[in-house]
Structure 1
């Protein structure tokens, strides 16, 4: 019997040593991957990897659209019609976007493609580092965002640029640099209209009303750049065509609540979905307004998720915004086991596990709108927490009054 206990004790000690060793290895690995040098190398590596893949495969339709839009602008051609000999699909971006993309359009195709990819990765790395969270949490954010940044690089998307500018606008508002913040908010809007959603954050700062005038100034100034290339009447025509194309039925991507509900009820009026989405947004922002000790990071996280899950043009790549919102929420809220499990399930299914590993899983994930549903659950978690915080603030106020 004594020998048996000694044997069990020995096994227990060995197991403890193995677990301690494994824990030490994990801690060292975490410290290594969260170093800024390592993260900088990883962002450089994904830009290089995407460059090689796209140069070999030549799957650059989005980039062809961007380049063609600038060239069409220079030639005074319509932007929002089909050009099947140059690319497939339509150009959906703001009329000012071709001016912003012009430096890349003037270079030869492949050098401009590589430059675009490396500029995108570098912009994400340097601007993500500035978000107002503790240093280690910023490093975690940088690391977890790599997967979605890589996905967008592989599709030569503008989403990483817009996300980086949205987060920079938050940083600048924290520093009360509203004039510069308004510039980046306007740039977000002038690339993809819904990027301007971050402007709602200014309502929680002093002198928020100045942002209206600053935003108007930058909007007019950047639109004035079009006058260098086309006439005022052509600008009006571009805007007319743009509004028609983004509000029409040509947008086939609806990987959001729109697509989810349309599959369940094909004739459901889109106005009902939009009204419900605005009600949810208004309810959350209103509750945040009445919480004295609110955290701006929670508002930013909610806006980033909301603008995608209720977006009729959402596709897989645009979930970089929602994933960024989920990560910011996870890093800034108090620890909670249920919320943590929800987060890691969301981040694994929606971001970390790549496509093409299993066709069956890819179809299951996409056909059942898993990214959308999981992000909606994260939003529900945010609502539950916010309601609790609001209740606590009301109780605390009544206690002080007594």
Structure 2
């Protein structure tokens, strides 16, 4: 039995979190305010290189120039997004660079905000997810990234399938996949669909439409060739990312990078880690009998959001805007125990703040970044999620009559 002291601590925690989650103004201030301030600083400092890369995807598609080579006169680095990205960035590319960059960041923040609002959780839980994830959003926004939208696509594919809106769920899966590959993990929710044939048909339809759409800006031959070059560019990038000793320290911030760097296994074959990870991920479907259980569904969503970040060599610090909301969702549906609280705080500090000024420069430059420390708490919680699913921890205790959907809420 739970002691009165434990009950009192649990109640106090819930009241505290509930009080924090009720402050709508604070949610909006941190979510959009931090994002806008961080972006404004980068714009004033002239650090909008990523936006210039994105803008020129549209311009280069229109001019039918190669999408995956360097253009040092226009920007640093190379584009790694699919041709459909030209349509996504088009409305912003027409604007002056500074205005376009700011509106681009706001649009991405708003897109993820709306996606989180669609989750089958209480308003307070949604607010807490937004609050706790706001620092990750700040990091992604400061780099003018598109990862916020990829996270939104994955979350929306989950939420829309649960609402029976298979066609739109398929749209977001295809859009995310043809933009940054990561979106393909939305297929993990296939078995939650109430009309799988309609879902499959929608995937094929949107796949055709979004594949052909960039041809309106250029030509069929150019777009088909661009997709081939895209695959080659991604393969080359993967090979480059693993050679961190040659200076690619800010890449491969993943479970792969963490294992490779901590254990000094520079030449570790990615498949040694990825194949067991895939098998573990697939093992969750042994519990599909419980696919109508809302907690099981949310745990699978968390696992799915974490997977592409943890097992991709292209993961960077800003990529964790995809993974960290999963940590927050997981926490929201856990019992209010000291262990869960400590684990979440550990993840919040090490994952969300390890690349920030909360850590000293020495720790950041000698430990957090070189050893891909940001990935460790996410890997730990991903393994815990797998364990919770395989051992049916999503089910309520047999001795209680509390509803499965509400017994474990932190609020």
For normalisation by structure 1, the TM-score amounts to 0.85
Residue 360 of structure 2 corresponds to residue 361 of structure 1: no
Residues 195 and 155 (structure 1), Cα distance of their counterparts in 2 relative to 1, 3 Å cut: same
Q: Which runs of 5+ in 2 are unaligned?
A: 1-11, 242-247, 400-411
Residue correspondence of structure 1 range 362-381 to structure 2 within 5 A? 362-363=364-365, 364-381=367-384
Residues 272 and 122 (structure 1), Cα distance of their counterparts in 2 relative to 1, 3 Å cut: same
Question: Among residues 211, 219, 232, which one is paired with 1:223 in the alignment?
Answer: 211
Q: Which residue of 1 aligns with 2:288?
A: 289
User: 2 CA distance for matches of 1:366 and 1:291?
Assistant: 40
Per-residue deviation, 1:272: 2.4
User: 2 CA distance for matches of 1:391 and 1:125?
Assistant: 26
Per-residue deviation, 1:91: 0.8
Contact preservation (8 Å) 2:214, 2:223: yes
User: 2 CA distance for matches of 1:247 and 1:353?
Assistant: 29
Question: Among residues 173, 193, 206, which one is paired with 1:185 in the alignment?
Answer: 173
Give per-residue Cα distances to partners, 1:28-53, cap 9 Å, x unaligned: 89636642233223333124312420
User: 2 CA distance for matches of 1:267 and 1:124?
Assistant: 36
Q: Which runs of 5+ in 1 are unaligned?
A: 1-22, 397-402
Residue 209 of structure 2 corresponds to residue 244 of structure 1: no
Contact preservation (8 Å) 1:159, 1:318: yes
Give per-residue Cα distances to partners, 1:137-181, cap 9 Å, x unaligned: 111111111111111110000011111222122221111100011
User: 2 CA distance for matches of 1:110 and 1:98?
Assistant: 19
User: 2 CA distance for matches of 1:354 and 1:78?
Assistant: 34
Contact preservation (8 Å) 2:154, 2:305: no
Per-residue deviation, 1:127: 2.7
Greater gyration radius: 1
User: 2 CA distance for matches of 1:88 and 1:376?
Assistant: 32
Please state whether the residue corresponding to 2:290 is helix, strand or coil. Answer: coil
Q: Which residue of 2 aligns with 1:309?
A: 310
Per-residue deviation, 1:193: 0.7
Residue 376 of structure 2 corresponds to residue 388 of structure 1: no
Please state whether the residue corresponding to 2:335 is helix, strand or coil. Answer: coil
- Give the CA RMSD over aligned residues: 2.6
Per-residue deviation, 1:194: 1.1
Residues 368 and 41 (structure 1), Cα distance of their counterparts in 2 relative to 1, 3 Å cut: same
Residue 36 of structure 2 corresponds to residue 48 of structure 1: yes
Please state whether the residue corresponding to 1:367 is helix, strand or coil. Answer: coil
User: 2 CA distance for matches of 1:342 and 1:362?
Assistant: 21
For normalisation by structure 2, the TM-score amounts to 0.83
User: 1 CA distance for matches of 2:394 and 2:24?
Assistant: 40
User: 2 CA distance for matches of 1:303 and 1:32?
Assistant: 28
Contact preservation (8 Å) 1:43, 1:122: no
Q: Which residue of 2 aligns with 1:20?
A: none
Q: Which residue of 1 aligns with 2:319?
A: 318
Per-residue deviation, 1:367: 2.1
User: 2 CA distance for matches of 1:147 and 1:391?
Assistant: 29
Residue 269 of structure 2 corresponds to residue 269 of structure 1: yes
User: 2 CA distance for matches of 1:212 and 1:281?
Assistant: 22
Per-residue deviation, 1:267: 2.7
Q: Which residue of 2 aligns with 1:148?
A: 136
Per-residue deviation, 1:204: 2.8
User: 1 CA distance for matches of 2:347 and 2:314?
Assistant: 21
Q: Which residue of 1 aligns with 2:402?
A: none
Equivalent residue pairs, number: 371
Contact preservation (8 Å) 1:34, 1:143: no
Question: Among residues 81, 86, 101, which one is paired with 2:74 in the alignment?
Answer: 86
Q: Which residue of 1 aligns with 2:299?
A: 298
